[in-house]
A and B are shown apart, each in its own frame.
Chain A
Amino acid sequence: MRLALSVIVAKILILIGKIMGTKSSSAPGRFAMKICPDMIARLSKQVKKEIIVVCGTNGKTTTNNIIYSLFDNVVCNNVGANMIDGVATAFAVKSNIFGKLNADYACIEVDELSTLKVFKQLKPDFLVVTNLFRDQLDRYGAIEITIDALKKAVDLLDDVTLVLNGDDPLVTSFGMETGKKCVFFGVNEKAGEPLNEVKDGKFCRNCGKELSYDFYHYGHLGNYHCDNCSFTRPDINYSAKDVDMSKGLAFTVKDTRVSVNYRGFYNIYNILAGFAIFDTLNLDTKLFQKMLSNYKPQIGRMETFDIGIETVLNLAKNPAGFNQAISTVLCDKRKKNVIVAVNDKPSDGCDISWLYDVDFEKLKDANVVRLASSGIRHNDLAVRFKYADLGESYDYEDIKEAIMSCIDNGAEVLYVLVNYTVLFSTQNFLRGLSK
């Protein structure tokens, strides 16, 4: 009875949210759990087939949405509300008002530090970890705290298969330390533009010595081993070969050629995670490419607009994300304008010292006509550009002005790189300008 009531309350709150035009993906779950604290446990037990959870610093939402696209009849928090309230909301949405859930699969993205709370109720069959990077340090303390939290959470699960990025030594050692069954994915060959980045995971968690790398993909991801102990990149069960990034993205995994029309090296990992689950469940991999085409990249992930100049909007939340965006900018040889906008609201992280961990120096060789800074911390970005020796840059408090200054100055493409709370207003503005 309590369960049914909690679902009804959540559904009413979602409806009110819709009428008021406020997207509420956390509040309905929060109130529902006040009525029925174990609603996630009771609803998730009714999932008929598999429960898949996605964690990791970057690529959570994309990976979760890719996996979601591979199945039918799925519970999914695909709007990215990844704390326990958001998980509760997702299950309430899919349930009927009597607390009965009709779903074959659940694909749930969970914030790493929320896993301990969530896994007390939700018992995934698969846990994907995309990567572990430095992220919003003022919230996370340090990466070690994240790994410890994940380990404690996984301890609550009896029968789980970990689907892990084997190119990430932090993820790999996390997996080995749990003692659970691990399936690894990775990229076996060098691809993409090299950047000068801070690398978080360079030290062997086993013995503390610095890891040796045959090659890096980005950040601390690559082909690594420890010269001092036995720790090494694991045997990769699902490895990408023959990577082609000249137009969209294409690669081969286990004799299946995968190709998509969106960019970004990191998307190889996101797709590999989906393939690993698909194949582990013995589904017909011939259908993979077809199912994958159901997935459309979300807003602000290299999203393009035509506002009189081709414009590419990209969200990045941390140095690894920004470096990946810069790497994509470098792949584009055209004359370009670049706007970088950074806010420091709580969901962005209040500490912006990471701006110095982004390799903005690379923009020197990027054929940039006009470089502009914006967002709440535009002043700090302007200082960052100055000390990156990038020559003249323009400083705008208002990103709309920054965009307007970049439409008609002879450049062929405009890149707008933003962090979280800059995204939505910028996207709305670009939509309004679109032809």
Chain B
Amino acid sequence: MTVNIAHLYPELLNLYGDKGNILSLKHRLLWRGIEATVREYSIDEDVDFENTDIIYIGGGTDKEQTVALNRLLEMNEQLVSFVEKGGTVIGVCGGYHILGKQFVTENETLDGLGILDITTKKANKRYVGNVILDTDFLDMPVVGFENHSTVTDTGDLKPLGKVTFGNGVTEGVIYKNVIGTNLHGPLFPKNPQLCDYILKKTLENKYSEVTLTPLDDSIENDANNYIINRFSK
């Protein structure tokens, strides 16, 4: 088995240690004897959708995010069909917002890719801090860090989780095999169960029935527990 990961525009979108998420996806496959490739795309390359299983889009500054959006709009038809066929997309921060129908930058409101039925508006403050979520599909809470001045209306989409510490009621969305969230920190190294969840979905979409061999996650779990013990009551 092989999983091909496309890391979109890391030279533009890398604001919050996004490399950590890529390392997590890759190593957790390799440690199980599953082949993994990571291709870093630069802005002038066309995405090879045929040979891609996971598309990762990180966060950038307003300017960089807009450059990335314009490039992705050129490939939007293929991206939509990739998602509808069960391809995995992970969008963090700006990479999450541009997947929606509309989002804001410091100066303007822009039409996004429309893959997720969400709209992101400007908040009147900046949300900065650690966040803890409860999900209905993982045993362990999801922990992360948020730093944004936006509010995302996720409509009828399933949220990634309920906020038990941090701002707002819910955070992020899951739609088919797309995960969108404001949480970085980065997300996957401290949430191995979430990383495995999306890897399993990815493998199932490609190879049908799949079981992931358990890994020793004691170091990751300690980091996850630390945040929970420090911030949850």
Contacts from A to B (Cβ < 8 Å): 137-138, 141-144, 198-199, 202-203, 208, 210, 350-357, 379-380, 382-384, 386-389, 395
Chain A residues with Cβ under 8 A from B15's Cβ? 137, 142
B145 partner residues in chain A, CB cutoff 8 A: 350-353
A383 near B220 with CB under 8 A, answer yes
Which chain A residue lies CB-closest to B60? A142
Q: How far is the CA of A253 from the CA of B130 in the complex (A)?
A: 48
A387:B129 contact, CB within 8 angstroms:
no
Partner of A138, one of B18, B64, B128: B128
Contacts of A351 in B (CB 8 A): 16, 128, 145, 147, 185
Q: Are A356 and B219 in contact (CB under 8 A)?
A: no
Instruction: Check: B7 CB closer than 8 A to any chain A CB.
Output: no
CA of A199 to CA of B15, assembled, Å: 10
Q: Which one of B16, B63, B126, B220 contacts A353 once the chains associate, using CB atoms below 8 Å?
A: B16
Q: Which one of B19-27, B109-117, B153-161, B196-204 is at the interface?
A: B19-27
Indicate if the CB atoms of B23 and A356 lie closer than 8 Å: yes
Q: Does B76 sit at the interface, judged by CB under 8 A?
A: no
**Which chain A residue shows the least CB distance to B188?**
A387
- Shortest Cβ distance from A355 into B: residue: B17
Whether the pair A379, B226 counts as a contact (CB closer than 8 A) is: yes
Across the interface, A350 reaches (CB within 8 A) one of B14, B130, B190, namely B130
Residue of A nearest to B130 (CB): A350
Q: Which chain B residues lie closer than 8 Å to A143 at the CB level? A: 61
User: Nearest chain B CB to A331's CB is how many angstroms away?
Assistant: 24
- Could you say which of B19, B61, B129, B223 contacts A356, with CB atoms under 8 Å apart? B19
Residues B104-152 near A (CB distance < 8 A):
126, 128-130, 145, 147
Given contacts A380-B223, A383-B220, contact A199 B16 (CB under 8 A): no
Least CB distance, B197 to chain A, in whole angstroms? 18
Is B67 positioned at the interface, with any CB of A under 8 Å from its CB? yes
Apart from the given pairs A356-B19, A382-B223, A383-B189, 9 other A-B contacts in the complex at a CB distance below 8 Å: A141-B126, A198-B19, A352-B185, A353-B20, A353-B186, A380-B190, A383-B223, A386-B219, A387-B189
27 contacts between A and B (CB under 8 A): A141-B126, A144-B61, A144-B63, A198-B19, A203-B12, A208-B63, A210-B43, A351-B16, A351-B185, A352-B145, A352-B185, A353-B20, A353-B145, A353-B184, A353-B186, A355-B20, A356-B17, A356-B19, A356-B20, A356-B186, A356-B189, A379-B226, A380-B226, A383-B189, A383-B219, A387-B20, A395-B219
Which residues of the other chain, A, contact B11 by a CB distance below 8 angstroms?
199, 202, 210
Q: Are A379 and B222 in contact (CB under 8 A)?
A: yes
A208 near B67 with CB under 8 A, answer yes
Q: How far is the CA of A265 from the CA of B189 in the complex (A)?
A: 32
Complex CA gap A111/B67 in Å reads 30
Chain B residues, CB < 8 A from A383: 189-190, 219-220, 223
Nearest-CB residue, chain B, relative to A198: B14
In angstroms, Cα B221 to Cα A358, docked, is: 22
B contact residues around A354 at 8 Å (CB)? 17
Closest chain A CB from B149 CB (angstroms): 8
Q: In chain A, what residue has the closest Cβ to B190?
A: A383
Residue in A199, A203, A353, A382 whose Cβ sees the most chain B Cβ within 10 Å: A353
Once bound together, how far apart are the Cα atoms of A180 and B187, in whole Å? 44
A208-B63, A210-B43, A353-B17 known; A387 and B23 CB under 8 Å?
Answer: yes
A354 CA to B27 CA, complexed, in Å: 19
Residues from chain B with a CB closer than 8 A to the CB of A199 are 11
Q: In the complex, A141 Cα to B14 Cα: how many Å?
A: 14
B67 CB contacts on chain A under 8 angstroms: 208
- Docked pose: A386 CA to B64 CA in angstroms: 30
Partner of B27, one of A144, A198, A387: A387
Residues of A within 8 A of B223 (CB): 379-380, 382-383
Chain B contacts of A357 at CB under 8 A?
A: 14, 17, 19
Q: Are A389 and B27 in contact (CB under 8 A)?
A: yes
Known contacts A143-B61, A389-B27; A382/B222 CB under 8 A = yes
A350, B63: Cα distance in complex, Å: 25
